[in-house]
Every structure is written in structure tokens, then in C-alpha cells.
Structure 1
Amino acid sequence: MTSPPTRSPRPSLRRRLLLLLLVPMGVLLVLDALLSYGVALTYSNRVHDQDLREDTQSLAMMVGNLQPGDELSPQARFLLEYDPDGRSYFSVRSRLHGLLAGNGTLPQPTQMPPIDARPILYDTRLAKRPLRAAAMQIEATREPGDSLVVSFAETLHDRHEQARDILLMATVMQTLLIVCVLSVVWFGVGRGLRVLEPLTARLAARSHELSPIDAADVPAEIQPLTRTIDALFGRLRNMLALHDRFIADAAHQLRTPLTGLSLHVEHALAESRPEAVNEALQHIQQLTRRAARTSAQLLALTRAQAPSLDTGESRLLDLARLVPDTVAQRVHEAIRAGVDLGYEGAPGTWPIIGDAASLGDLLDNLIDNAMRYAGRGSVVTVKLGGHADGSCCLSVEDNGPGVPAELLPRLSERFFRAAGNNEEGSGLGLAIVQRIAERHQARLTCSLIAPHGLRVEVCFPPLDAPRPPSSGDQDRHDDSA
């Protein structure tokens, strides 16, 4: 029987802050210990060097009249024998008679100091033991013309031991200080995190509310988090508004064809004559097509209105290849509808950054709108060209009845259809085109053609133009606010 997997502990902000402080403080403690030891050793050397000079001067005063075979005075012997560990060494040398006294053969300094000058300090070794020594030269009192070199040395043990004692005291104090600091930080972080409690309480008290949570009492350090949450709430509000709008639009647009379907089905069931049943089935077929087209248009509008997310679908496209291919796919449908559908394109390539599927929906809706409202026997022309500023323009022209000039600004509104037009439609074609154009930072314009007809033009910005956030996203945010 396998044991359940252990769950990793939940990350703690307080513990993370403490670790982030503990590691640098540990490094600083080690560096400070090294620095403290260096300073303590320097101080200890300075004190011991001063004592070494004074001891050498005292010894020189006591042995100034020493001759070969003489014994040291009791004062000099006491000075030399105070160290029971044997870590001190001395020698008294006569320039004429050699070594007069000493407890070891001390190496002499490389440069002899002048007579009665201050003792000089130098480093030397005796039996592989490092020593610190002081030496001075005095004039012999009993024998004129002779001089004595008095040397006094000691091992480095006392110096290092004193430096270690100082380091130990400093390290203990600094460690206690760091522990106190970390305790204060632990307590302070806990107290500081309490400022999040009002925000937590507000979020816990919500049920389905998606209003912004950023307020004046939110600390500046977590404002990026609250703003990110507010942006997420905004996208959710837009998606919910889009969902509600789709349901309302579907209910509004499908109610009529579904009601008609129900009536014609009842009529077909009530009639026994074949011609009446056949007529009802024809009406049912027309209404079914209308409902299917309306559903497809509603789905296309919903996709066009959805927030513009960076999904990697946008890429470099050549409209000089995309547009003719799309027009060619509609030629057979145009022939059946009795419409002369053609294409006129300027030579060269017309590159843009966009989504091929969305641009296909845009052109399909432009062609469908022109063919549907221009009517049988009309001419519909798809044109592709550019302007002097480098923008690429796609237009669809027809020689149909057109619309009154005052209605041109309203053609891209949802469910808007010009009065007096008997052609069935959902009024969503140009609304879909408008939304797709906005997502590509393109500009949609509608204009009349003399003597009659309508031109719908979509102009895409040049490739090197800056691409600001889609205005369609801003409109959707304003509509759902």
C-alpha cells in the first residue's frame, strides 16, 4: 500500500524575509569576525611591541657594566624569569668579548642600531619558532671602547591569544545583536502584514462582486498585485458582459424565426393538401437558413468582440494573396445570386500584421453585405490598394440603391438596418467588420458612390506604425462598466 504523497509546506512571506536577512547577516558576521581579528591582532601587536621596547631598555640599564664571567643582577634575573612558560628570550653581546649572557642564541638584526638609540623591532625565528624581537646598543661602562648589544624577544603566542580573546567577546556580542535584530524583524514583519487584513476581509465578504479592490488603505508594495487582480476582474466583467449580451442578442434575433418555424410546423400538420404542406416546408427551410445565418453572425460578432489576447495568431500576411483567394471562393455563390462579383488589385505586395481567419470573416461579411443589399443584377467589386502614407486599403463597392447619407455613421451599429430595404438580414455584418477592423488598428469608412451605390473601405496602418491598444477593447470596457 503506497503512502499518500507528502504535501510541501506552503511558502511563508515572513520566513522568506527572515532567510533573506539571515544569510547576508551571517556573511557580514564572518567578514566582521575576520576584520575584528585583524584589528585585535594589530592592537595586541602594538601593545606588546611597546612592552618589548620597555623591557629591552630596562634590561640594557641593568647590564650596562656586565663583564665576561659576571652574573646577572637579581633585578635583571627577575625581569627575565617572570615568564614561566619559556616564551621569552634574551642575549647580551659584547662587541669585543661576544656573548656575555642569554638563554638562547638570538639572531641579531640585519642593521645594528646606533649607541643609546631607541630599540629597534624586527621579526626573527629561533628553532623554527617565530619571534618578535627588540634590540638596542649601549656603551660598556667598565671597558671604554666596548659596546653591548642587548636583545629581548618573545613568541607570538600571547599576541594571538589576546586577539582571540577580543574576537570572542566581539563575536558573542555581535551574535546576540543579530539574534535581537532578527527577532525584531520577525515581530515587525508579523505586525506589518496585519495591514493586509482589511483587504482580506473585503475579499472574503464578497460573493459575486467584481469591482476593483484597490483602495487608499492598500499598501504601495502590494499595489501591483491588487492592480493585476483588478485587471483580471475587468476582463471577467467584459467576458460576463459579452456572455450576457450574446444571450440577449440570441434571444432577440432568434425569437422571430423560431416563432415562424413553430407556426409553419403547426400549419403543415393541420393541412392535408400536399401543396400547402410543400409551401410550409419551403417557409420552414427559409426560416431555418435565416436562424442558422443569424446564429453564425452572432458567434462571429462574439469572437470579434472578445478581448484581444496575445495568442500568437497574428502574423505577417499579404493581402494581395489573401483577398483574391477569398473572393474566388464566393464567385459561385455570386453567380447563383445573379451578382457580378469582381476583383481589382494594385500590383505588388500589401503586407499587414493580422489574423488570417479574422480577416477572412471581415471580407466575407463585406461581400455578403454588398451582395445581399445590392440585389440581383448588381455589380460588386472588391478593390485593394494603398495611400501615400503607406497604409493598405481594402474596399468593397456595389451599384445598389445605397443608403441615405445621414444613415452612413450608423451602418456599423449592431442590428441596424436601413429603412425601406426588404432584404432579410441580421444587421450584424458591418458591426462584425467594425470590431475586426478595430482589433487590427484599422479604420472603417462608409461612403456613397455617384450616381448610386455604397463603398465600404477598411484601411490598415503601415507596418512601421506604432500599434496602440485596440480601441475596440476600450469600447468594450466602457460598455461593460
Structure 2
Amino acid sequence: MSSPAPLQPPSLRRRLLLFLLVPMLVFLLLDAVITYAGALAYSNRVHDKDLADEVLTVAQMIRRYGIQSELSPEVRFLIEYDPDGHNHFSIVSRKRGLLDGHGRFFNIRPSIGQAPSLYDVQTPHHLLRVAAYSMPAPDDPGDVITISIGETLQSRHRNARDILLLSIPMQSLLIVCVLLLVWFGVDHGLKVLNPLVERLRRREHELEPITAEDVPIEILPLTRTIDLLFARLKRAMQAQERFLADAAHQLRTPLAGFRLHAERALANPADTKDALHHILRLTERTTRIANQLLAISRAQSRLANGSELPLLDLAAQVPGMVALRVPEALHAGLDLGYQGPDKPLHIQGHADALQELLDNLIDNAMRYAGPGRSATVRLGPCPDGGAELVVEDDGPGVPEALMPRLGERFFRVPGHEGPGTGLGLAIVQQIAQLHGAQVTFGRSEAGGFKVTVRFPPPAAATSP
């Protein structure tokens, strides 16, 4: 079975030409109709004037030569042998009736002294245009003679067609010139995109913006959208590079430890059990490092995507997040509590990302506060309509000199020998940045460590 033919991509040039050429062809036909109608109207005016003049001329000749039972040879010659072929006529006397012609076709009797009347008469074979004129009889002042002369419309239509045929070549030449101008104009106009195409063609791995001064205003929305895409892609690639560098940096030490203890176990079978214990601890540390690196990577990916955050009720979410960690905190000897409002407290955020943020703050309290201590998670509104999440403990705290370095990757407070990678607060910083929040570090009222995360109000609350 043959595969379907691939669809032809849309062409901007073809679309523009069709949009311009088809209406112009329609306008050409419309112009021909209008030209013919105008030519016919002009021909009718000329012929009507000639017809009226001819009736007046016949009336003048009748006054000169008179009329008895038939027309004089001069008058008959004027009517029957006129170049326009006026062979439909009638001359009617009010007293004597039809003197000559075809009286059955003409029934209009204008008043004496009026200009010739023009009207149409339908005969069995033709539609006639008739001019009628009434005058006193030259040989009987009490009598009235009405002269009616009619002609067919063939010569009128023939003259209109001649005018149309004369105008069509000139109009066609004009249309062809305009079409060529449109064709070359569209082709020349699209060449303004060539510098942009050339810049993109020369690029290999650059993700800098492509919008420049030579970009036409009509495609600025397209180039700016591409610039935004490049910016998101650049952030994603930078996040990937940082992730790979962090993974290589952090996994180097555990892998070296794996090799060392494996070689020690092979060299001395008596040390196998002790080496396996060391390998188990290194495995736990490697797993923790991998999980935290993945958490940072997920936060950076969300930040690079730049997607709109959904509306989230912190007052409904945070208590459940804290409750999940209470058993683990009790096992570590930490009294974990929660204080928060009863009313909804909305922000825009990801529930999973906020769970990671809170988990890292609680992990930090469990590791650095120590057994027998307490930690509290507090949630409350901010004056600007946002929300404030605070995690504080009554542990030894962090020296003021080291506070500015908190949040750096792999930084750990000197003198602490417990498990840790130095990535927990870095993850908190990344997730806070994703939500447009600010993170501050300080001392709690009990002298321990305090982390405050201030979330901005939701967009619906800040819009006018």
C-alpha cells in the first residue's frame, strides 16, 4: 500500500499573491461590466439626442414641403435611408388619422410646442426607442400632426461593445503591470527576512536573542517569542550543565570510597565485614546526594520552563506536609510542632515543590538542632497579601559570620560532623526562586536557627 504524499508546507509568498491577485481579477471583471454599462449609457444619450434631432428635422421639412396623403420624397429619403436605419415611423393627423408609417406601434401624442418625447415600444421582433413630436399642420392650423420615429437598440449595444473592446486592452495592460508589480513587490518585500535567516543559518550552539534593528515590525512578535524560547532553553541547558557538574563533584568521593573499601576487603578477608559497613554508609550517602541533586534539578527545570503556577492554599497544605515528618522527627529526638491560621492563605505554587522545600528545612533542623531539641513550623499572612513560612529551632544556631554563605551549594557549617551534603538550603533557595519568594536566614528567639520564606501574593490579588 503506497504511503500518502507528504503535505506541502504553507507558502507565505503564495498566500500573499493569492490574496492580492484573485481580488484583482475579480475587480477586472467588475470593471468590464461597469465600463460596458457606462458605454451603453453614453451611447443611449448620443442616440437619443440624434433621434430627437431627426424628429425635429423631419418636422421642419414637413413645414417646408407640406404633406397630403403621403410624405414627400425628401422626407421619406431622410427617414428610410438614414445611416442608422430608422425605418420604423408614423405620421398621424388628428383629423385625418395615419398619414404614413406604422401607426399601430406608436401611441404617444405629445403636446404642441413640447420637446420630443422619448419612450420604448416593444414590437413582435424588436424593442424600439421612439422619439415623438407634435406640431400644427402646415396646411390646416386647426389640425395637429404627430411625428414618431423609432430605431432598434442594436447600434447602441454595438457602440457600447466597441467602446468596451477599445478599453479592455488598456485595462488589461494596466492590470498586468499591476500584477507584475505585486509579484516583484512581494518577492522583494520578503527579502527583508534574508538577514534574519542568514544569522540563524550561521549559528551552531548560540542561544542569544535574534531580534535586531533589521527585523520587520510585522514579525517582531515571532522573533520575540523565539527569543523567549531560546532564553528558556538556555536556562535549561545551564541547569543541566550545573547538575552534571554537581553530580560529578559530589559522587567522586563516595565512588573513591567504594573502590578503597572493596580493595581493602579483597586484600584482607578479615576486614570484609568492616569494609561492607563502610560501603553501606557510603551507599546511603550517595543515595542522599542523588536525591538532593534530583530535587535541585526538578526545581531548576520548573524555573526554566517559566510556566504559570496554579493557585494553592498553604493553610490547607502545610499541616499535612508537617504531619508526614512528625514520626521521623520523634525518632530523631526532635519535637516538631506547627502553628498556622484557620483561614485560607493562597499563593501560586507547586505542592510537590513546596513539600521538597519544607522537607529540606525540617531535615536541616533534625540534623543541626540535635536530639532533645524542638522545632516549629509557623505559617501566617504578610501585610502585602502574601504568605510567610518560618521554620525555627532552639539548637546551637549558626554564627553570624557564616549567615551570608548559607544557601551556597555544598557549603556546610564547619565543626558539624553529622550526615549532610550542603545541598539542603540550596534546594530551598531554588524552589523559593521558582515561586518568586524571598529566603532569609537568622536566629530564632530561643537562640537557634531560623529560616523565613516570604511568598508574594497571588496574581489575582495584585491585578487592578
Kindly report which structure 2 residues correspond to 1:327-342, keeping only aligned pairs within 5 A, or say none. 327-342=322-337
2:177 alignment counterpart:
180
CA distance in 1, matches of 2:87, 2:260: 125
CA distance in 2, matches of 1:146, 1:291: 132
Amino acid at match of 1:211: E
CA distance in 2, matches of 1:78, 1:419: 132
Distance 1:201 1:384, change over 3 A: closer
Q: CA deviation at 1:455?
A: 2.1
Q: CA deviation at 1:198?
A: 4.1
Amino acid at match of 1:257: P
Q: CA deviation at 1:328?
A: 1.6
Distance 1:406 1:175, change over 3 A: farther
Decide whether the 8 Å contact of 2:393 with 2:446 is kept in 1.
no
Correspondence for 1:375 among 354, 361, 370: 370
Q: Aligned to 2:141, what secondary structure does the other structure show? A: coil
CA distance in 2, matches of 1:88, 1:462: 97
CA distance in 1, matches of 2:359, 2:350: 14
Distance 1:149 1:310, change over 3 A: farther
Decide whether the 8 Å contact of 2:132 with 2:146 is kept in 1.
yes
Q: Aligned to 2:159, what secondary structure does the other structure show? A: helix
Q: Aligned to 1:146, what secondary structure does the other structure show? A: strand
Decide whether the 8 Å contact of 1:106 with 1:151 is kept in 2.
no
Amino acid at match of 2:434: R
Correspondence for 2:145 among 118, 143, 148: 148
State how many pairs are aligned: 460
Correspondence for 1:351 among 328, 346, 349: 346
Q: CA deviation at 1:354?
A: 2.1
Q: CA deviation at 1:47?
A: 0.9
2:5 alignment counterpart:
6
1:476 alignment counterpart:
none
Distance 1:320 1:194, change over 3 A: closer
CA distance in 2, matches of 1:406, 1:87: 120
Amino acid at match of 1:336: H
CA distance in 1, matches of 2:125, 2:367: 110
Correspondence for 1:390 among 368, 385, 391: 385
Kindly report which structure 2 residues correspond to 1:49-198, keeping only aligned pairs within 5 A, or say none. 49-64=48-63, 66-69=66-69, 71-82=70-81, 88-109=87-108, 112-127=109-124, 129-198=126-195
2:450 alignment counterpart:
455
Quick one: percent identity of the two aligned structures? 54
Amino acid at match of 1:344: Q
Decide whether the 8 Å contact of 2:90 with 2:106 is kept in 1.
no
CA distance in 1, matches of 2:304, 2:195: 34
Distance 1:87 1:432, change over 3 A: farther
Decide whether the 8 Å contact of 1:362 with 1:432 is kept in 2.
yes
Amino acid at match of 1:100: L
User: Unpaired runs of 5+ in structure 1?
Assistant: 468-481
Q: CA deviation at 1:365?
A: 1.5
1:303 matched to 2:302: no
Kindly report which structure 2 residues correspond to 1:437-476, keeping only aligned pairs within 5 A, or say none. 437-463=432-458, 464-466=460-462
Across the aligned residues of Structure 1 and Structure 2, the Cα RMSD in angstroms comes to: 2.6
Amino acid at match of 1:180: C
Distance 1:29 1:144, change over 3 A: same
Decide whether the 8 Å contact of 1:88 with 1:155 is kept in 2.
no
Q: Aligned to 2:99, what secondary structure does the other structure show? A: strand
2:251 alignment counterpart:
254
1:362 alignment counterpart:
357
1:208 alignment counterpart:
205
Q: Aligned to 1:154, what secondary structure does the other structure show? A: strand
CA distance in 1, matches of 2:245, 2:253: 14
Decide whether the 8 Å contact of 1:116 with 1:139 is kept in 2.
no
2:428 alignment counterpart:
433
Decide whether the 8 Å contact of 1:326 with 1:360 is kept in 2.
yes
CA distance in 1, matches of 2:439, 2:385: 17
1:318 alignment counterpart:
313
Q: Describe the superposition over 1:336-393 as per-residue Cα deviations: whole angstroms up to 9, x where unpaired.
A: 2111112222212223332221121121112112222212221111122213433222
1:239 alignment counterpart:
236
Decide whether the 8 Å contact of 1:89 with 1:104 is kept in 2.
no
CA distance in 2, matches of 1:343, 1:403: 22
Is the deviation greater in 298-307 or in 207-216?
207-216
CA distance in 2, matches of 1:231, 1:406: 39
Q: CA deviation at 1:32?
A: 1.8
1:41 matched to 2:37: no
Q: Aligned to 2:140, what secondary structure does the other structure show? A: coil
1:263 matched to 2:263: no
Q: Aligned to 2:367, what secondary structure does the other structure show? A: helix
Q: CA deviation at 1:49?
A: 1.3
CA distance in 1, matches of 2:379, 2:229: 39
CA distance in 2, matches of 1:94, 1:410: 125
Q: CA deviation at 1:221?
A: 4.1
Decide whether the 8 Å contact of 2:79 with 2:86 is kept in 1.
no
Q: Aligned to 2:142, what secondary structure does the other structure show? A: coil
CA distance in 1, matches of 2:125, 2:387: 92
Decide whether the 8 Å contact of 2:232 with 2:306 is kept in 1.
no
CA distance in 1, matches of 2:225, 2:211: 10
Q: Aligned to 1:137, what secondary structure does the other structure show? A: strand
Distance 1:162 1:131, change over 3 A: same
Distance 1:270 1:337, change over 3 A: farther
Q: CA deviation at 1:29?
A: 1.7
Amino acid at match of 1:292: T
Amino acid at match of 2:312: L
Q: Aligned to 1:124, what secondary structure does the other structure show? A: strand
Distance 1:465 1:84, change over 3 A: same
Is the deviation greater in 154-163 or in 60-69?
60-69
2:20 alignment counterpart:
21
User: Unpaired runs of 5+ in structure 2?
Assistant: none
